[in-house]
Structures are given as structure tokens and as C-alpha cells.
């Protein structure tokens, strides 16, 4: 079922939920500049076998309000949007799964609104904490010295985006996924081409959004609150991750007490078909634990 919810004055968010209406809610939070349609249907359906799965378009993506230039907002306000989605759909508490920027937003929810979460799953993100990473040999590494974004990703992100028409924009996005996917799984360009065409059809235009990259990213540190967090948390480790490569997942699992760390073989910073089943298994295994499913 699709519907819109009001998140703030002048801001409406597109939402969709699948699965039994009386099943335990599971909210999917996508990454920066990514529509909720970036969560592949096949993965959503695997999760919907056990949950009422909710996905939505961030502001300035998909069918939600595009108005950053008129009403700029900080990144942290997007976490409030996630709560607005739950409120608008009548959900008191939910399992929450966040990818990339969605993982940052999920950490904000873990820290600031733990009463709204049954569990959290963090994918392809870094810790909102200044606590050092402690290596197995006891060496303490400040977060700022952990491995950074791969040069090939930074180079792609530095390129200006020209409007050369819808098909050229699809191909640009496909190459983006090729780089984000890492180098351990075969890349299926046609799969991502079909995904992006569906996203463009859903959105109604092929404009490349830039709002989240321009939004204020201050005020995100949650070192103390994450260190005392009580939300059952799963951290997904992706060995081919080019944005937040290992040991970022290990650091994140250290930052949030009691976290479980699960590696998805071959995974990078993308959701190709090869990772759908193992990722769904990991998430469903987690949501069937503390907090209930």
C-alpha cells in the first residue's frame, strides 16, 4: 500500500508498506540521494514474509517533496522524518534497517529515540562516535585514522553531473553502482539498469539530486549515548565495501554495546541479487531475537 505522510510544514513523504498488516513493523531507511525504491523488491519481499516492511522516499528523492533550495535542513532532521513515517502509519515501535546515510540516521534513532526501536540493523555506515577502534592486539585507533573512502569512489563523486538526457543519466548511475559494488561479486549492469529505470519512472523525472550532499552534517556525534545504548543491534560487515571499509563495521560493533557482527560474503556498498538472501537471513535472524518479530 502506498500513501503520503506529512513530516513537516510543506514536506510530504512517499511511503509504501508490504506484508501482513499485523506483522511486526520493519522500517527501511535508504542512503543519501536515494529513493526508497533503492531497496530492491526481491529483498523487500523476503523481509515481508515475516514483517510489515515499510520503505519511503527521503526528502528530495523520489515522490517526496523536493524543496531543499527553498527550505534547507540539516542531515539530522532526516531522522525526524523517519519517526514521522512511523507516526503517519500508526507504528509505535519498529525494527529499523539503515544503509549508508540511512545507517547514520538509524544510529541517531538508537541514541535519541530508543523507545521507538525494536532492533537496529546497520549496513555500509560508520560510527557516530569519537571512541577509538581497538584492534585485536589492543592498539587504539582514532576514528579519523580508519580507512577512508576508496579513491575511485571519490573520483566519481567529484565529477560534475551534466544533463545529457535520461539514458545517459541511467548509464551514469549504473557506473556508479559498478564502483560502489566492489570487486568481489560479478557486476550485472542490466540488473542495475532496470533498477534505475524503475526509480526514474517512480520519481517522474531523472534529475540527479544533490540536497543531502549540501545539507548541514554537524551535530551528529552520539559518542556517550551510543556507548550506553540498549537497542539490540546488528552490524553488517561487507568485505568489498569501498565507502566504509573494514574495520568500520568492527568499530561500530564496539561502539554499541552487545552488537552482533555478521559478514555478507562479497558484499560492497550495493544490493545486487547475490546478497539478497544472505542479507535477509541475517536481518530476519536478528529481528527474531530480543525485541521479537
Q: Give me the pLDDT at residue 292, please.
A: 47
Mean pLDDT, the chain, integer: 96
Query: Average of pLDDT values for 160-169?
Result: 91
DSSP assignment of 243-269, as one string? SS-TTHHHHHHHHSTT-EEEE-TT--S
In tens, the pLDDT along 29-39 reads: 999 999 999 99
- Residues facing residue 133 across a β-bridge: 141
Residues above pLDDT 90, as percent of the chain: 96
Contacts of 237 (CB under 8 A, 6+ apart): 246, 249, 250, 261, 262, 263, 264
Helix (H) or strand (E) holding 6: strand 2-8
Q: What is the band of 162 on the pLDDT scale with cuts at 50, 70, 90?
A: confident
The model's pTM: 0.97
In this structure, are residues 270 and 179 in contact, taking their beta carbons and an 8 Å threshold?
no
Which residue segments constitute the domains of the chain, with CATH numbers given? Answer: 2-145+209-287 (3.40.50.1820)
What is the structure's pLDDT at 293?
47
Give backbone dihedrals phi and psi of 116, rounded to 5 degrees, phi first.
-95, -5
Q: What is the pLDDT of residues 48-95, one digit of tens each?
A: 999 999 999 999 999 999 999 999 999 999 999 999 999 999 999 999
Question: Of 34, 156, 172, which Cα lies nearest the Cα of 98?
Answer: 34
Element (H, E) at 5: strand 2-8
pLDDT score of 122 more than 90: yes
Q: Cα separation of 126 and 122, whole Å?
A: 9
Mean pLDDT of 42-52: 98
pLDDT at 161: 87
Q: What's the pLDDT at 290?
A: 55
SS in 3 state form for 122-146?
Answer: EECCCCCCCCCEECCCCCEECHHHC
Question: What span, in angstroms and rounded, lies between the C-alpha atoms of 238 and 15?
Answer: 28
- Counting every residue, how long is the chain? 293
Quickly state the pLDDT bin for 118 (edges 50, 70, 90). Answer: very high
Residues 251/146, Cβ–Cβ less than 8 Å = yes
The answer to whether residue 182 scores a pLDDT higher than 50 is yes
The string of pLDDT tens digits covering residues 188-233 is 999 999 999 999 999 999 999 999 999 999 999 999 999 999 999 9
pLDDT of 249 > 60? The answer is yes
Residue that the C-alpha cell 539490540 belongs to: 232
Amino acid at each position: 500500500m502506498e500513501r503520503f505522510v506529512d513530516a513537516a510544514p510543506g514536506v510530504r513523504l512517499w511511503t509504501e508498506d508490504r506484508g501482513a498488516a499485523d506483522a511486526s513493523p520493519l522500517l527501511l531507511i535508504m542512503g543519501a540521494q536515494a529513493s526508497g525504491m533503492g531497496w530492491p523488491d526481491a529483498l523487500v519481499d523476503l523481509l515481508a514474509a515475516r514483517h510489515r516492511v515499510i520503505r519511503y522516499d527521503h526528502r528530495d528523492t523520489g515522490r517526496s517533496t523536493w524543496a531543499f533550495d527553498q527550505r534547507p535542513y540539516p542531515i539530522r532532521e532526516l531522522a525526524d522524518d523517519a519517526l514521522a513515517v512511523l507516526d503517519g502509519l500508526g507504528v509505535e515501535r519498529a525494527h529499523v534497517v539503515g544503509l549508508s546515510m540511512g545507517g547514520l540516521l538509524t544510529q541517531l534513532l538508537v541514541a535519541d529515540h530508543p523507545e521507538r526501536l525494536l532492533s537496529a540493523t546497520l549496513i555500509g555506515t560508520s560510527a557516530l562516535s569519537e571512541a577509538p577502534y581497538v584492534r585485536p592486539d589492543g592498539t587504539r585507533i582514532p576514528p579519523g585514522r580508519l580507512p577512508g573512502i576508496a579513491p575511485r569512489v571519490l573520483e566519481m563523486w567529484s565529477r560534475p553531473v551534466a544533463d545529457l538526457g535520461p539514458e545517459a543519466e541511467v548509464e551514469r548511475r549504473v557506473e556508479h553502482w559498478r564502483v560502489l559494488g566492489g570487486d568481489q561479486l560479478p557486476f550485472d549492469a542490466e540488473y542495475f539498469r532496470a533498477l534505475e529505470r524503475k526509480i526514474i519512472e517512480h520519481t517522474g523525472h531523472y534529475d540527479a539530486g544533490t540536497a543531502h550532499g549540501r545539507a548541514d552534517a554537524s551535530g551528529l556525534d552520539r559518542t556517550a549515548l551510543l556507548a550506553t545504548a540498549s537497542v539490540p543491534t546488528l552490524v553488517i560487515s561487507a568485505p568489498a565495501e569501498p565507502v566504509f571499509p573494514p574495520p568500520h563495521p568492527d568499530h561500530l560493533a564496539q561502539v554499541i554495546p552487545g552488537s552482533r557482527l555478521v559478514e555478507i560474503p562479497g558484499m560492497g556498498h550495493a544490493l545486487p541479487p547475490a546478497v539478497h538472501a544472505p542479507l535477509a537471513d541475517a536481518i530476519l535472524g536478528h529481528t527474531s531475537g530480543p525485541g521479537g518479530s
